[in-house]
Structure 1
Amino acid sequence: MAFRGASVDAVASLSDHLQGELPGSDGTHVGSGLFLLASVLGNEAGLRRVLTDVSVAPAAKAGLAREVFGGKVSEVAVRLLERAVTLRWAATRHLPDALEHLGVIAVVRSAAEKGQSGQLADELFAFAQTVKGSPELRDALADPARSLDDKRTLVSTLLEGRTLPETSALAVQALAGTHRTVVVALTEYQKVAAEVHGRHVATVRVAQPLTDTERQRLGEALTRRTGRPVHINVVVEPSLIGGIRVEIGDEVIDGTVASRLDDVRRRLAS
């Protein structure tokens, strides 16, 4: 999520505070509470304005937050909200956006405690690819005539028993979050998962699957290039013919045969 101004410092402060709150807590439960807070404050503009109003005493805003939400979500989520409303925000909308972001971090850390952060990232990517590759599923999840509960049931049914609970929790949140589409949300969540563990995310497009050795060598090369470990997502596209295309952040390294052929065609046509 793109925060600016004072909101950047607020999110950084809350992220540090969350890290101190999570040991001994159920990260997925904390995350679900933060997602609920984000949803309510995203829809209740009046309450959101009061809780971010710099003219209202911080203690009064924290008291209001506890009065409204105490006992309705986890205690950790309530304490984070109490802290959040005492901070300055560049835009009122940044408060619910930040709570959603913190919720994602909490769920990611839940998987990390079990040594499953890599599996979580892979499953988020795989589900995003499934949605992109299935027009019927994509339309069902985007259909404004279908209720949110219906969409959540559909996603939960698809993933139940096939993925980590954390993956299912984030996939369901992707339906109701602040992102434009489910695929965009899942992509952003995977980036958060990588950032939490000091990694970059690279999408690698190839004409045929990589062997384990090729994947390992590519990971080592990208780590040397970026200075940080890299989590690799592989997309097989036979139309590339051969070679490899790597997308990492804003950088694109295109060494595919299809790309070189296109370049030759452009030169011949000029």
Structure 2
Amino acid sequence: MRGEASRIADRESRDSLAPKLRDTHEDAWRIGNELFTITSALDNNIQLERALTDPSRPTADKVVVFKEMVGDQVHPMTTEIMTDLVSRRWSRARDIANAVEDFGVDAMMYYADATDSTLHVSIELSRLHSSLLNLPVVRSKLYDDQAPSEVRVKLFRELFGDKNLNKVTMRLAEHATCNLRRRRYLETIQWLIKKFSRHMGQSMITVTTAAPLKEEQIKRLIDVYSAKVGRQVHINSVVDPTVLGGMRIQVGDEVTDNTVVAQLQNLHRRVQTEASPV
């Protein structure tokens, strides 16, 4: 959890710079990649994070430290973002890396906007999440912090490199395994899906079923939940044969679980409770 100072710094910085970042159009691809590289550098160097967040140090000095790290070849917008971030107060040194990563994802979304591929990337991320849900061994390898990042990225490319994924989808998915950031792989993919959903002004409804949803089912769910939340929603259809039947529907933190497995578990709990001695 980020402290109050970090939440304020992150929000104010992104509110201030989002219009400028959006206006970089296709340059946002380069900026996003640079920000992901900086995120990794910060994650691997706590001394650097402390130097860039030290409240007693003048902003000009911290900008010098940043430029010594990246040189003078980065995009001007990358420099402007980092200059803004190092000028702010942070609850913890490592929170600045979280903010840099957020900007990196924002840049990738703006690039997707500029290339008319935002919805396509969102759908691909949802499908990626669904395809990995029933591959626990693969998932464990994608967030194995004992394996070099190059090995994890190579594994991902071997599995998905021939799927003709959009390059933004590929870059985000590779970032998720290249720099684990103390997260499980599917947690990061789900986080990215939600960010794209918010970016598009939609709500992401995750529906887990034993078999793929039919088109009429998806349309009905969109109609029902769009009316419920008051805006257009996108259905993230997840196929998980272990649920046996029924649906598990998640809207934000609210979960409605009407799957056969959930019903059996509830029945088992009731039986145990009734069988327990008073």
Q: Find the counterpart in structure 1 of residue 5 from structure 2.
A: 6
Matches within 5 A, 1:137-216: 137-161=138-162, 162-175=164-177, 176-216=179-219
Helix, strand or coil: the match of 1:127? Answer: helix
Q: Find the counterpart in structure 2 of residue 63 from structure 1.
A: 64
Task: Output the amino acid matched with 1:94.
Answer: D
Alpha-carbon contact 1:27-1:109 (below 8 Å) kept:
yes
> CA separation in 2, counterparts of 1:222 and 1:23?
33
Q: Find the counterpart in structure 1 of residue 75 from structure 2.
A: 74
Superposed displacement of residue 201, structure 1:
1.8
> CA, structure 1 residues 78+243, in 2 after alignment: closer, same or farther (shift >3 Å)?
same
Alpha-carbon contact 1:202-1:232 (below 8 Å) kept:
yes
Helix, strand or coil: the match of 1:10? Answer: helix
Alpha-carbon contact 2:130-2:239 (below 8 Å) kept:
no
Q: Does the alignment pair 1:23 with 2:26?
A: no
> CA separation in 2, counterparts of 1:238 and 1:173?
29
Q: Find the counterpart in structure 1 of residue 100 from structure 2.
A: 99
> CA, structure 1 residues 4+197, in 2 after alignment: closer, same or farther (shift >3 Å)?
farther
> CA, structure 1 residues 156+78, in 2 after alignment: closer, same or farther (shift >3 Å)?
farther
> CA separation in 1, counterparts of 2:136 and 2:39?
29
Superposed displacement of residue 70, structure 1:
3.5
Task: Output the amino acid matched with 1:211.
Answer: K
Q: Deviations over 1:35-60 (max 9, x none)?
A: 11111112221221121111111232
How many percent of aligned residue pairs carry the same amino acid? 28
Using the size of structure 2 for normalisation, the TM-score is: 0.86
> CA separation in 2, counterparts of 1:65 and 1:241?
53
> CA separation in 1, counterparts of 2:6 and 2:75?
24
> CA separation in 2, counterparts of 1:234 and 1:143?
26
Q: Deviations over 1:232-262 (max 9, x none)?
A: 1112344545432201111112333554455
Superposed displacement of residue 111, structure 1:
1.5
Superposed displacement of residue 228, structure 1:
3.3
> CA separation in 2, counterparts of 1:196 and 1:151?
28
Helix, strand or coil: the match of 1:50? Answer: helix
> CA, structure 1 residues 60+118, in 2 after alignment: closer, same or farther (shift >3 Å)?
same
> CA, structure 1 residues 216+237, in 2 after alignment: closer, same or farther (shift >3 Å)?
same
Using the size of structure 1 for normalisation, the TM-score is: 0.88
Q: Does the alignment pair 1:88 with 2:89?
A: yes
Instruction: Give the alignment partner of residue 251 of structure 1, picking from 250, 254, 259.
Output: 254
> CA separation in 1, counterparts of 2:131 and 2:182?
18
Alpha-carbon contact 1:69-1:78 (below 8 Å) kept:
no
Alpha-carbon contact 1:97-1:178 (below 8 Å) kept:
no
Alpha-carbon contact 2:39-2:100 (below 8 Å) kept:
yes
Task: Output the amino acid matched with 2:32.
Answer: G
Task: Output the amino acid matched with 2:13.
Answer: L
Q: Does the alignment pair 1:225 with 2:224?
A: no
Superposed displacement of residue 95, structure 1:
0.3
Equivalent residue pairs, number: 269
Q: Deviations over 1:199-236 (max 9, x none)?
A: 22221122332222221121121122223332211123
> CA, structure 1 residues 261+152, in 2 after alignment: closer, same or farther (shift >3 Å)?
closer
Unaligned runs of at least 5 residues, structure 1: none
Which deviates further from its counterpart, 175-184 or 215-224?
175-184
Helix, strand or coil: the match of 2:183? Answer: coil
Q: Deviations over 1:147-197 (max 9, x none)?
A: 212222332343335200001101111011414222111111111111222
Helix, strand or coil: the match of 1:3? Answer: coil
> CA separation in 2, counterparts of 1:129 and 1:61?
43
> CA separation in 2, counterparts of 1:131 and 1:207?
15
Helix, strand or coil: the match of 2:142? Answer: helix
> CA, structure 1 residues 149+239, in 2 after alignment: closer, same or farther (shift >3 Å)?
closer
> CA separation in 2, counterparts of 1:221 and 1:73?
47
> CA separation in 2, counterparts of 1:253 and 1:134?
24
